[in-house]
A = this chain, B = another copy of it.
Amino acid sequence: MAVQTIDDLPTPALILDRAVLRRNLKRMSQRLHEAGVALRPHLKTAKSVTIGRMAVEGHDGRITVSTLAEARYFAEGGFKDILYGVGVVPSKLAAVTGLRRQGINLRIVTDNLAVARAIASEARNGDTFSVFVEIDSGGGRAGLPYPELPGLLDIARVLHEAPNVELAGVMTHAGHSYHESTSEGIARVAEQERQAIVGAAEKLRAAGIPCPIVSGGSTPTAVHSRNFDGITEMRPGVYVFNDLDQEFIGSCGADDLALSVLASVIGHYPHRNQLLIDAGALALSKDISAQEFQPKVGYGTIAGAPVKDMAVIACSQEHGFVGADSPLPYESLPVGSRVRIWPNHACITAAAYDRYYVVDSEVDGGRSVVDIYDRINGW
């Protein structure tokens, strides 16, 4: 690749700082090594084989994905132990067996008795399955709610007793950790997560049903948990990049944001103290999760902004409206100049792009494009 700087890139573009990425990966890898817990990174954030390989370095290579398109892509990239972490439905089992017949241990998830029966029925044809039962540890998304765990034993028995089906274990995602903003608060959620998932595993074992894998995880709980006892693996995802939301809840520091959107200033509107950039609703996404903690971040903040609270305050499809509390520095940001925007939620913003332009802040301040990593999108 010819030497290229970020000034040569078309805008909007997705910029990944490899130095920050490596630090983020190393920190989580070490933390889970020290905790004695396997790392099964959730690659729904990165959606990149290159980043996936870096993430599992020093670990056994197990990963999590959120779509069948990701499962196929990472299987092609050489990953062998893949958990498809969204509740499966019978119509998707053919795609699952397609990959399993190629030697990929694509594991699936359910919390539903009818689906468990459909899996058991499908397995009678000779196809094998590896299935997790999903537990709701308090986040209120998917899973059997703890402590009631309604139907857990019925579902587990159907799977455990079916020929060719392995009950892999139990899994949960403590999504409510995203709404805590202190280490104590997140640690409390992490303990809920642990109790729920370990409690579910113990309930299975007490009934004579093996439960080899006890899978928890979110970035905040992986970072702040004070006790992993009984958990065998964690599935953090957004830690690879981090974002404003993770910074505000304390999963990372302000220097740990690896992902930004590069945009061009396309217009000056001093009569309303705004400027426009060519990154709008599609380039940034309309995710405003970080506003829960700091409303002034809008749709993303301007990296290295010369004035306070300079952020994308509104978006239309391809226009981002940049405002600030004090007068905007128009002279230092002429039309055609470039800005970098820190996204609210890296997973959602990244999904609009088919590639990362990789820079390295430890090499030359992040000026040169040192690599391009592709991404898988869609379903």
Question: Which residues of A approach B to under 8 Å, CB–CB?
Answer: 10-13, 44, 66-68, 86-92, 95, 111-112, 114-115, 118, 140-142, 145, 150, 175, 264-269, 271-272, 276, 278, 281-283, 285-288, 316-319, 321, 334-336, 347-348, 351-354, 377-379
Contact = CB atoms under 8 A, between A and B. Distances in A.
A284 to B, nearest CB: 11
A343 to B, nearest CB: 12
Given A282-B351, A351-B352, A89 B379 contact: no
Closest 3 CB pairs of A and B: A87-B266, A286-B286, A89-B336
Contacts of A286: 285-288, 348
A379 B10 contact: yes
A287 B278 contact: no
B66 A317 contact: yes
Copies of this polypeptide in the complex: 2
A346 to B, nearest CB: 11
Interface centre among A13, A66, A89, A265 (most CB of B within 10 A): A89
A135 B264 CA distance: 20
A12 to B, nearest CB: 6
Contact of A114 (B281, B335, B351, B353): B335
Contact of A378 (B142, B145, B352): B352
Nearest to A9: B91
B321 A264 contact: no
Contacts of A379: 10-13, 283
A331 B321 CA distance: 46
Contacts of A336: 89-91, 114-115, 118
Nearest to A70: B318
Contacts of A265: 89
A67 B319 contact: no
Given A114-B334, A266-B86, A288-B286, A317 B44 contact: yes
Contact of A267 (B111, B266, B316): B111
A347 B276 CA distance: 20
Contacts of A268: 112
Contact of A141 (B142, B321, B352): B321
Contacts of A317: 44, 66, 347-348
Nearest to A281: B348
A92 B338 CA distance: 13
29 contacts: A10-B68, A11-B89, A11-B379, A13-B379, A44-B317, A67-B318, A86-B266, A86-B278, A86-B318, A87-B335, A88-B266, A89-B266, A89-B278, A89-B335, A91-B264, A91-B336, A92-B264, A112-B268, A114-B336, A115-B336, A142-B266, A142-B276, A142-B319, A145-B271, A281-B287, A285-B285, A286-B286, A286-B288, A286-B348
A51 to B, nearest CB: 17
A86 B317 CA distance: 10
A92 B13 CA distance: 14
A317 B66 CA distance: 8
Contact of A276 (B68, B141, B288, B318): B141
